[in-house]
Structure 1
Amino acid sequence: MNPQIVSTTETVDFVFFFIFGISAIMLLGITAAMVYFVVRYNRKRHPHPTSDKASNLTLEVVWTVIPSILVMGMFYYGWAGYLALRNVPEGALVVKATGRMWSWSFEYANGKLSDKLYVPAGQPVKVDIHSTDVLHSFYIPAFRVKRDAVPGLESHVWFNAEQPGSYDIFCAEYCGVAHAAMISTVEALTPHEFEEWYRGEPAAAEADEGEALLTRFGCIGCHSLDGSKKVGPTFQGLFGSSREVLSAGQKRTLTADEEYLKRSILEPAADIVEGFPPAMPAYQGQISEFELEEIIEYFKRMAGAKKTQSLGEQLMLRQGCVGCHSTDGSKSVGPTLKGVFGRQVKVLRDGKELTIEADEQYLRQSLIQPQADQVQGYPPIMPTFGALPEEEIEALVEYLKTLQ
């Protein structure tokens, strides 16, 4: 098997079906022979043994040679398949994958960082696997590759995503309380799309520097940015908020100021937020002072944004909007509100199908007269909010504009 022309999927599938086929044939043959002998040589028919045969050289040769050939065949194809999985084709794109409790991060040769593995379809990709804390296992079922991520040891896998698409990445080794949430994806793009993504600015410049650092250190694997529940407390509105914590077994209330945030990153076991497990690893010695300051500044900016948006968000919660509309793109009873402002929406107006832009006027009308334009694919069950004061309607619209 030439690893340059045979994909990992084809390699593993061939060996699997080869061994499965032999096993199935052996099972059927042994079962058939067993049934035949049970019937043919039933004790009721032959109460006394009559055979005087001491040996049969032909049978002994057959049941020795045939199993040996089968076992050697399985060994050969298994070994050839293993070599194909370990020998990386020339010209493979190299990406560094880092596993930590409980997320994957990916770093490219140009310094670009991502929490998803972006690859060009049709090109081999070598993934160098590392772990910063405990034992993990890098597993992509679609490409039949799995390799342990061992602290202090570098290993690798390679694969070739022949078609564009999204493919799951799991951790296949129990690594702690949020092991099941250690999930990412391979995003296979067309070569042109990947080139555009890859040649863009590094992740730290693409987004906020603080957010890029949270991705690099795996923080968003346990802490959400949008208020949703995860293993650890959400980062939304963190700076300046009050925290009920356990410090040396004693309950107390702290303010999430700079000192608290630094201590929570460097010595997370010092103050455990009530209701959450003491599972966060310490970053003392792993993060520089500059990076620590950038993360704290990011939390401050998040808190500032939260204050300007708080009225609209509070109204969303108070009026029950989040019961039917998600803010993260997930499917719910009504259309998601993520990216709603400026989106092209297919609606039914007076029985006619139209495509309109969700501008400020559309958002206002959707709150005051939701039955006027029915978004296709969703039931007409939203109540009207025409009784809301003008300033609250305005606050809701302004908040919706920020959900990008």
Structure 2
Amino acid sequence: MLHIDSAPSTPGKVKMEKSSYFFTRGGGARWHYSLAKLTVWSFAFLALILIFFLRSPAPSTITSAADPSRRSLRNYNWAAGFVGTHVSSALKRRGDGVLGIDNFNDYYDPSLKRARQALLERTGVFIVEGDINDEALLRKLFEVVPFTHVMHLAAQAGVRYAMENPGSYVHSNIAGFVNLLEVCKSVNPQPAIVWASSSSVYGLNTKVPFSEKDRTDQPASLYAATKKAGEEIAHTYNHIYGLSLTGLRFFTVYGPWGRPDMAYFFFTKDILKGKQIAIFEAANHGTVARDFTYIDDIVKGCLGALDTAEKSTGSGGKKRGPAQLRVFNLGNTSPVPVSELVSILERLLKVKAKRNIMKLPRNGDVQYTHANISYAQRELGYKPTTDLQSGLKKFVRWYLNYYSDGKKAVE
């Protein structure tokens, strides 16, 4: 039996019409499954979390983008990644078919990604091990299954790591995205694409809360710059080739099965080990705060974006008419100081943290994030419901179970 928080908890909606999605989650160059086996799994509508999500054509009588029977595919981030795992699971539970691709790189502990993969495969979600920069592989996947939607979640994440390995960000976040769009533009039918941008694009913007109409031309990190570049690239492929594209600006996503490089995750680990943790403050003792958004709320936003994504208008690489182009903030609208995050963890773990107050370094981190979500509320029906205290309680329960006795207990 899985622990109550071992599996993604967003229930997803029940639907009458099957959909197939293609998910992207990163890029190892190996493909460990034969085309024959892939075909069998694909047409059995098994959920594959990484690269693409296939969807059956909508009936011709459906004309409203907001009709709940419509299903869109997003494809950004790795299927065995944090967000990808939860979104894929939610899609599977509501009856959609998902095909995923992930490279299982070592940016953080690959065993956690493999554990997510095992969790997904037990629910019928299948992942191809491969690279989104591998054009031949992507084209072969589209030959096997006529994907109608792509959920692009594949990216090199992390603000600080860009100072150590800048090339990985260009490779995944720019070159990988372009490669995916090149394949999508030329297939028939062209899929609708939903992809992950980031709240980091707001960079040094001091106007809060951040709105989709605010300036995003002052990135504070290379990661932010590559995400901003992705938004401009999306505009280009929409304008020239008629691809339907929806970008989602995530705000500090957290929860069970999360990324170990995120503060809430390594704070938990270090507090339990009695290690000192660094808590940053801005100039003149200014507060550093984040708009922490629980994973289940992010999943709801992702599904809403998929379900309202309109069809692409191109064919054979040629635009036939105007196509949908959107970008949404997905946040919680309640920024919390990082110091309060630590206080909540102390109460949940029943351990006092060894705090080391430090000046915010010039490594790309920004002082404050706060999402204006009115656009997503209006267009996607997006409404976050989980406060930080409740979300961290679920995360801590999962963490203690997963790492019980120093072992990675999945079941």
Q: For this structure pair, what is the TM-score category when the shorter chain's length is used for normalisation?
A: under 0.3
Q: Which protein is richer in strand relative to its size?
A: 1
* TM value normalised by structure 1: 0.26
Computing the radius of gyration from Cα coordinates, the structure with the larger value is: 1
Q: Which has the higher contact order (CA 8 A, sep 6+)?
A: 2
